[in-house]
Structure 1
């Protein structure tokens, strides 16, 4: 289980870093074909729409995750975390997210995300 948690912690960091840097290539590697995301504006987007929205540079900066909790249940895992970031006007802001991961052929892939601000 320790190996899974280490791997998921690294994937979680990649995910957050990819949001900040609009890294569509990395997301293409770590999102399952059936991926869906609930956005802070309450919209639900599939993988293709998520990649399209991710390609647009984000206005926030200094995004980082903290209070990360990783739960592994066999070939399924849930990651809960808080976020902190700086808004374009310089104000500090906070949010939360929950990501669900499933092991496909020995590889962890994100299958679902829910983001709130």
Structure 2
């Protein structure tokens, strides 16, 4: 969680797979909970730079607690602020 605290902008928002939109504080609380998936792998990662904005698209593969294999995608938006890259947005699907 400490690493997320360093990387997320104060105005960060995340769209979750269930359709909820959560802010930075809620995301940090969500990621602090015990993980119920295992073997999370990011594949087909594509990074596109537009000056001080970066878009990251990737496919994910993971196993559920019952060992079923699942797939998803995520898109992150990063912005360079004060010489530091910060995540401002995430969209996750499963």
TM-score range, shorter chain: over 0.9
The equivalent position to 2:51 in structure 1, one of 74, 77, 87, is: 74
Between Structure 1 and Structure 2, how many residues are aligned? 94
TM-score w.r.t. the length of structure 2 is 0.98
**Residue in structure 2 matched with residue 106 of structure 1 by the alignment:** 83
Extract unaligned runs of 5+ from structure 1.
1-23
- Residue 58 of structure 1 deviates from its aligned partner by 1.2
Distance 1:40 1:64 in 2: 17
Q: Secondary structure at the match of 1:114?
A: strand
- Residue 57 of structure 1 deviates from its aligned partner by 1.0
Higher helix share: 1
CA RMSD of aligned residues (A): 0.5
The equivalent position to 1:96 in structure 2, one of 61, 69, 73, is: 73
Distance 1:64 1:108 in 2: 23
Does the alignment pair 1:37 with 2:21?
no
Distance 1:66 1:90 in 2: 19
**After TM superposition, which residue ranges in structure 1, 4 or more long, deviate above 3 angstroms?**
none
